[in-house]
Amino acid sequence: MHRLDLFPDKELIELYRRVFSSSHGLNVLSHMLYDLGVFLEITDGAEDVTLKNYGNRLMKILSGGEPSQLNIEEFAKRLMKQPIPKSKEN
The model's pTM is 0.66
- Note the pLDDT of residue 36: 92
Burial degree of 16 (CB within 10 A; 0-12, 13-18, 19+): middle
Q: How is the chain split into domains, by residue range?
A: 10-79
- Note the pLDDT of residue 65: 73
Mean pLDDT by 10 residues, the chain (90 residues): 67 86 84 88 87 87 73 69 64
Identify the sign of the CA torsion 35, 17, 83, 39.
Answer: positive
- Note the pLDDT of residue 4: 58
Q: What is the DSSP letter of 66?
A: S
- Note the pLDDT of residue 21: 83
